[in-house]
Amino acid sequence: MMTRQTATLWASGLMALVLTIGPATAAEFATKEEAVAMVKKAVVFIKEQGDATAYAEFSQKGGQFHDRDLYITVLGLDGRVLAHGQRADFIGQNLIDAKDPDGKLFIKERSDLALHNASFWQRYKFMNPATQKVEVKDMYCERLGETNVCGGVYGT
């Protein structure tokens, strides 16, 4: 039988464990604020370093534009992938007709949104590289010339 003092100590220890684990688990995944900050950093990087240098950096896994499940993608408004932080095999492909698992033409939608907005959020489903599961993704994009510079977060 547990005494009141033992139960109190046990409950206090459990609460400390929950408080310790909670923030650490949340920190495993990027936030919307971090996505906005990374996209803004990427836009500045393109302007300072030029397209070729910037796109190569964005497409390099483990580089400065990778943070947990957050990475940068750059697509032309025509749907051509210019840089992709997770899928190098997409680079050079035109994905304007790509659909998410629900049938949403998400690249076409992104291009259409860019025609009317300097920056925007878009929601669709995509494979999360951290969990290897298809999840809801909220993508923040800024239009830069004839391109979309984007970074997104999963499971929001």
Amino acid found at 26: A
Average pLDDT over residues 91-107: 96
pLDDT of residue 127: 86
- Higher-pLDDT residue of 7 and 88 is 88
- pTM equals 0.80
pLDDT digits over 30-68, tens only? 899 999 999 999 999 999 999 999 999 999 988 899 998
- C-alpha to C-alpha distance for 104 and 156, rounded to whole angstroms: 18
Highest mean pLDDT among 6-10, 22-26, 152-156: 152-156
Rounded to the nearest integer, the mean pLDDT of the chain is: 85
pLDDT band at 128 (very low <50, low <70, confident <90, very high): confident
pLDDT at 106 over 90: yes
Instruction: Check residue 76 and give its pLDDT.
Output: 98
The Cα–Cα gap between 19 and 129 comes to 27
For residue 52, what are its two tokens?
Answer: 């070729």
Q: Which residues are paired to 125 by β-bridges?
A: 136
**How many alpha carbons fall within 13 Å on the CB side of residue 5?**
0
Q: Which letter does DSSP use for residue 62 in this model?
A: T
Contact status, residue 99 vs residue 109, Cβ threshold 8 Å: no
